[in-house]
């Protein structure tokens, strides 16, 4: 599977589609999810053509990866999530129902998020 430069997050990065921005630097853009699944639900996306956690972690430079993950940490500070805690999730591929083929972290917070994933799957 090759990277589709017309995916919705690529279009947000190019400024073709608006977003509700939380943070931006040279490595990453963070914005509120359009359909929040928690009181705080922010997406952090790299400024590069990566489909998922898989190719990002394999192909991105160490400097870029560090910059990206530090940007995600900056988001948690900007939003004051340290006290209550938060969850970071990266859907990868079909079984995880990844909808947008541009790597992204979900940051969830603002309530008791429960334990991991839905029970009864195994």
Return the active site residues: 104
| Nearer to ligand AMP (CB atom), residue 4 or residue 82 | 4
| Nearer to ligand AMP (CB atom), residue 82 or residue 87 | 87
Min separation Cβ 13 and ligand AMP, Å: 12
Residues that bind ligand AMP (CB under 6 A): 8, 17, 19, 33-35, 43, 91, 97-100
Cα distances (angstroms) measured from residue 27 to each of 23, 30, 74, 96: 11, 10, 12, 25
| Nearer to ligand AMP (CB atom), residue 65 or residue 100 | 100
Min separation Cβ 33 and ligand AMP, Å: 5
């Amino acid at each position: 599977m090759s990277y589709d430069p017309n995916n919705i997050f690529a279009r947000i990065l190019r400024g073709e589609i608006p977003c509700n921005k939380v943070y931006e630097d040279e490595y990453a853009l963070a914005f509120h999810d359009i359909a929040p699944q928690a009181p705080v639900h922010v997406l952090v996306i790299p400024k590069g053509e990566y489909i998922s956690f898989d190719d990002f972690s394999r192909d991105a430079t160490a400097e870029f990866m560090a910059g990206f993950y530090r940007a995600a940490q900056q988001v948690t500070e900007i939003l004051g999530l340290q006290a209550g805690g938060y969850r970071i999730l990266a859907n990868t591929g079909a079984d995880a129902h990844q909808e947008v083929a541009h790597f992204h972290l979900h940051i969830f917070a603002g309530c008791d998020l429960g334990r991991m994933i839905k029970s009864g799957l195994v």
